[in-house]
Amino acid sequence: GENVEQHPSTLSVQEGDSAVIKCTYSDSASNYFPWYKQELGKGPQLIIDIRSNVGEKKDQRIAVTLNKTAKHFSLHITETQPEDSAVYFCAASIRGYGGATNKLIFGTGTLLAVQP
């Protein structure tokens, strides 16, 4: 079945450094790729997303890149700050009931620790 692989499972960086999290997906029909940030005791929060007709998207210190040919996408966080510490999940849309690609399958998460 469809799956999304996410690496690394844990990532520790120094404040001010960059962090990169990578995901690969299996469903060639996937056309939407969101990233979520989950802080302890809270629900996941959508931080950035990209659609398959775009190769890169930026929002301040966060960027996402997509390579549809290779079926992988990455999250880049620059100038990391302690408040960036959280679990990050990638996801890819997959075909759901009736064939519409409006379901998401999630990666297993990356625990990012930014050391001050």
Partner 1 sequence: GAGVSQSPSNKVTEKGKDVELRCDPISGHTALYWYRQSLGQGLEFLIYFQGNSAPDKSGLPSDRFSAERTGGSVSTLTIQRTQQEDSAVYLCASSSQPSSYEQYFGPGTRLTVT
Residues lying near partner 1 in the complex (CB under 8 A): 6, 32, 34, 36, 41-46, 49, 89, 93, 96-98, 100-109
Closer residue to partner 1 (CB): 20 or 87: 87
Sequence-separated contacts (24+) of 98-102 with Cβ below 8 Å? 101/29, 101/30, 101/31, 101/32
Closer residue to partner 1 (CB): 74 or 109: 109
**78, 61 in Cβ contact below 8 A?**
yes
**Residue 108, Ramachandran bin (φ over 0: left; ψ between -120 and 50: alpha; else beta):** alpha
Closer residue to partner 1 (CB): 31 or 78: 31
Instruction: Give min distance, CB of 79 to partner 1, in A.
Output: 26
Instruction: Give min distance, CB of 44 to partner 1, in A.
Output: 5
